[in-house]
Amino acid sequence: MGTEDVRIDTHLNKHIWSKGIRNVPFRVRVRLARRRNDDEDSPHKLYTLVTFVPVATFKQLQTKNVDSNQKRSTCHQSSRIFRASLW
């Protein structure tokens, strides 16, 4: 998504490690959200937040582009949902 700073949500991290180091989940549905960096000292203006999206089945899932505008016009979020295959 064009950012060098990528942050992984704790729920996604716990889901990946839920079966241990040897039995990693085969597929994981994640949401990528580009957000503004609040740290003024950071060289990057934006960062990407990767969150876990629970789904019942992975059959016939497609990539969805979601644009959500918040009340403040200066903060624009765009999210992308896709299926990540870990193997």
> Residue 5's closest CA among 52, 54, 53, 39?
39
Q: Which residue shows structure tokens 């990693």?
A: 24
Q: List beta partners, residue 81.
A: 31, 64
Q: How far apart are CA 48 and CA 17, in angstroms?
A: 21
| pLDDT of res. 27 | 92
| pLDDT of res. 85 | 58
Q: Which residue shows structure tokens 């903060």?
A: 75
Q: Give the residue-averaged pLDDT of 21-28.
A: 93
- State pLDDT tens for residues 26-85: 999 999 999 998 888 888 899 999 999 999 999 998 888 877 664 333 334 445 665 565
| pLDDT of res. 79 | 57
pLDDT value at 11 more than 50: yes
pTM attached to this predicted model: 0.71
